[in-house]
């Protein structure tokens, strides 16, 4: 059964998943989860507290010895079965994501496909998980490294791309031999439950993967503070990440942080303007701007500024809002987020920003109840204005004019973040000069500010993270310990 359909209220309840079964919150409390498209009650979510988290951690601890004893190849085969189940149930998973997050169906399907690729890549890692063989200064000594699991992985994810976020962390954690307690996002609870059920069907032993639903405080925080959790991987806002770094760091847990971004998108005077507009609009507005890698600051050379601005406004105004097939963007995930984006736009207006298009919630009757924001383009803000520097996590982009590439780079590097960046130019010299110098973990040329793949490291400089990189082979450094084994061979 998938969730508990309480007959009295007819409201679906999404419980925790502990030791291979649905588990009710010990305090009996539930949170309301609303449909982002129409503000109707969608389901109730377990409002878990520390007791539920401790239960999940104890369960993961009990499952650890047997799971970590399996060979990586065997673990990879089990993960391969999960991949097959994800493929079989892709439509059902996509439908769940579309409803919970308000994503148009093709975007939800695209997200599942991305999650499957992640899963496939790390299932295959069971046949690699390479160590190194090392030379030695001592005659007869041979040395090599092996990767060993850390223990219990506490994974905390946001709702913006829920199944991709779950796959991103769960598969590398499991292939390395860890067991997992995952704190699902309060706005995407059911996809976490569906995924957990699917892991059981695929043959993952009970207790190896556990899900706790609920809020950051108290549920997420209880995962961070528990001494038994050896590695914490968190994707979310920079403020929460700072707190996790402090608390997890104090008890010497390994902490991997994937945090916010205010990603620059530079358009040079030799760019193909139509291509630049195409990628700028995708970077700024896809997934309703709810992407850490959203291109939310567009920096344009003065000589092409007017032409670019006109095309970008036309593009933004042509985008179709809604949740049906073919729509370009849906609502943001909850009302609090919608209100905070509208407030950020109002502040920008007061600080001298000119709203070139959008700037408010749409008034069409079919969208008016949902948490929609019109694609918004703002110009005239100084580089230090709040909206020029602060992540809004919505379909809002600011335009900035520069004279040359040096000024573009200076502006690109002017925030505390450093996640991704893009530049549009026909000049290899300009592109490489910029890519080498921009403060970003990902630098793209003639593309969007996003587009990482499962085998590519993703992560940021500055306030965008703490130096770790997931996914790619680099994720193995997050979820495993390296051990150096040496032995001495005597001649004869």
Q: Does 236 bind ligand NAD (CB under 6 A)?
A: yes
Q: Does 215 bind ligand NAD (CB under 6 A)?
A: yes
Q: Does 237 bind ligand NAD (CB under 6 A)?
A: yes
CA 213, chain centre distance (Å)? 17
- Angle 98-123-53 from CA coordinates, rounded to 5°: 65
CA 265, chain centre distance (Å)? 20
CB 83, min distance to ligand NAD, A: 22
Task: Measure the CA dihedral 33/34/40/42, to 10°.
Answer: -50
If the CB atoms of residues 177 and 236 are measured against ligand NAD, the closer one turns out to be: 236
Binding ligand NAD by CB under 6 A: which of 224, 245, 300, 396? 224
For tokens 């694609």, the residue is 375
CB 237, min distance to ligand NAD, A: 3
If the CB atoms of residues 85 and 245 are measured against ligand NAD, the closer one turns out to be: 245
CB 394, min distance to ligand NAD, A: 11
Q: Which are the contacts of 175, defined by CB distance < 8 A and separation ≥ 6? A: 72, 75, 76, 79, 122, 123, 125, 126, 129, 479
Binding ligand NAD by CB under 6 A: which of 43, 94, 255, 259? 259
If the CB atoms of residues 211 and 423 are measured against ligand NAD, the closer one turns out to be: 211
Q: Does 156 bind ligand NAD (CB under 6 A)?
A: yes
Binding ligand NAD by CB under 6 A: which of 47, 226, 258, 379? 258
If the CB atoms of residues 207 and 218 are measured against ligand NAD, the closer one turns out to be: 218
Q: Mark whether 258 is an active-site residue.
A: yes
Scan residues 269-308 and list those touching ligand NAD (CB under 6 A).
292
Annotated catalytic residue, options 292, 379, 391, 470:
292
If the CB atoms of residues 87 and 242 are measured against ligand NAD, the closer one turns out to be: 242
Give the H/E segment covering residue 34: strand 30-34
Site pattern 388..407 for ligand NAD (x: CB under 6 A): ---x-x--------------
Count of chain residues binding ligand NAD (CB under 6 A) = 27
If the CB atoms of residues 126 and 441 are measured against ligand NAD, the closer one turns out to be: 441
- Which among 93-101, 155-163, 205-213, 442-450 is the span making contact with ligand NAD, rule CB under 6 A? 155-163
Q: Does 418 bind ligand NAD (CB under 6 A)?
A: no
Q: Mark whether 292 is an active-site residue.
A: yes
CB 152, min distance to ligand NAD, A: 15
Among candidate residues 168, 158, 156, the one with its CA nearest the CA of residue 453: 168
Binding ligand NAD by CB under 6 A: which of 119, 240, 387, 475? 240
Give the H/E segment covering residue 236: none
Q: Does 311 bind ligand NAD (CB under 6 A)?
A: no
Burial class (CB in 10 A: 0-12, 13-18, 19+), 448: buried
Could you say which DSSP state residue 458 is in?
Answer: B
Q: Does 332 bind ligand NAD (CB under 6 A)?
A: no
If the CB atoms of residues 82 and 240 are measured against ligand NAD, the closer one turns out to be: 240
Helices 90-101 and 189-201 pack at an angle, to 10 degrees, of 160
Q: Give the span between the Cα atoms of 254 and 292, in whole angstroms.
A: 22
Q: Give the span between the Cα atoms of 7 and 27, in whole angstroms.
A: 21
At 226, list the tokens: 């528990």
Binding ligand NAD by CB under 6 A: which of 18, 42, 129, 185? 185
Locate the DSSP E strands across 203-253: 209-212, 229-235
Antiparallel, parallel or unpaired: β 254-258 and 4-6 = unpaired
Antiparallel, parallel or unpaired: β 4-6 and 354-357 = unpaired
Annotated catalytic residue, options 111, 120, 125, 258:
258
Strand order in the sheet with 133-134: 133-134, 141-149, 480-488
Chain contacts with ligand NAD (rule: CB under 6 A): 156-160, 183, 185-186, 215-217, 220-221, 224, 235-237, 240, 243, 258-261, 292, 391, 393, 419
Q: Catalytic residues, which ones?
A: 258, 292
């Amino acid at each position: 059964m998938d969730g508990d359909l309480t007959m009295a209220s007819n409201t679906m309840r999404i419980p925790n998943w502990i030791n291979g079964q649905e588990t009710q919150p010990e305090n009996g409390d539930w949170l309301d989860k609303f449909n982002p498209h129409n503000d109707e009650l969608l389901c109730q979510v377990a409002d878990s507290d520390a007791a539920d988290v401790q239960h999940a951690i104890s369960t993961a601890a009990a499952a650890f010895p047997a799971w970590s004893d399996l060979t990586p190849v065997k673990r990879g085969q089990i993960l391969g079965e999960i991949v097959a189940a994800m493929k079989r149930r892709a439509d059902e998973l996509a439908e769940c994501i579309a409803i919970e997050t308000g994503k148009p169906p093709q975007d939800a399907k695209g997200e599942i496909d991305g999650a499957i690729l992640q899963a496939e890549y790390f299932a295959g890692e069971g046949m690699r998980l390479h160590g190194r063989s090392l030379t030695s200064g001592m005659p007869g000594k041979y040395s090599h490294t092996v990767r060993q699991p850390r223990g219990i992985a506490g994974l905390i994810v946001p709702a913006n791309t829920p199944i991709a976020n779950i796959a991103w962390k769960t598969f590398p954690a499991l292939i390395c031999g860890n067991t997992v307690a995952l704190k699902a996002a309060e706005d995407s609870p059911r996809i976490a439950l569906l995924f957990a059920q699917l892991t059981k069907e695929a043959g993952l032993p009970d207790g190896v993967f556990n899900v706790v639903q609920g809020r950051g405080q108290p549920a997420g925080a209880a995962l961070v503070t528990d001494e038994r959790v050896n590695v914490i991987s968190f994707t979310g806002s920079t403020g929460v990440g700072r707190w996790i770094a402090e608390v997890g760091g104090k008890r010497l847990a390994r902490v991997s942080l994937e945090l916010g971004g205010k990603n620059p998108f530079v358009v040079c005077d030799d760019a193909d303007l139509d291509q630049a507009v195409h990628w700028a609009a995708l970077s700024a507005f896809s997934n309703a701007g709810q992407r850490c890698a959203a291109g939310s600051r567009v920096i344009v050379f003065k000589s092409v500024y007017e032409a670019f601005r006109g095309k970008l406004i036309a593009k933004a105004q042509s985008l179709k809002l809604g949740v049906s097939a073919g729509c370009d963007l849906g609502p943001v995930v909850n009302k609090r987020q919608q209100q905070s984006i509208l407030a950020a736009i109002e502040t920008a207006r007061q600080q001298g920003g000119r709203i070139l298009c959008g700037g408010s919630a749409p008034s069409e009757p079919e969208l008016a109840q949902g948490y929609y924001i019109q694609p918004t383009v703002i110009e005239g803000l100084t580089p230090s204005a709040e909206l020029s520097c602060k992540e809004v996590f919505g379909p809002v982009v600011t335009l900035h004019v520069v004279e040359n590439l040096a000024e573009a780079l200076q502006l690109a590097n002017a925030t505390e973040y450093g996640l991704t960046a893009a530049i549009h130019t026909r000049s290899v010299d300009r592109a490489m000069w910029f890519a080498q110098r921009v403060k970003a973990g990902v630098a793209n040329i003639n593309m969007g500010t996003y587009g990482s793949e499962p085998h590519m490291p993703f992560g940021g400089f500055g306030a965008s993270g703490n130096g770790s990189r997931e996914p790619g082979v680099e994720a193995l450094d997050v979820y495993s310990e390296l051990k150096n084994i040496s032995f001495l061979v005597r001649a004869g």
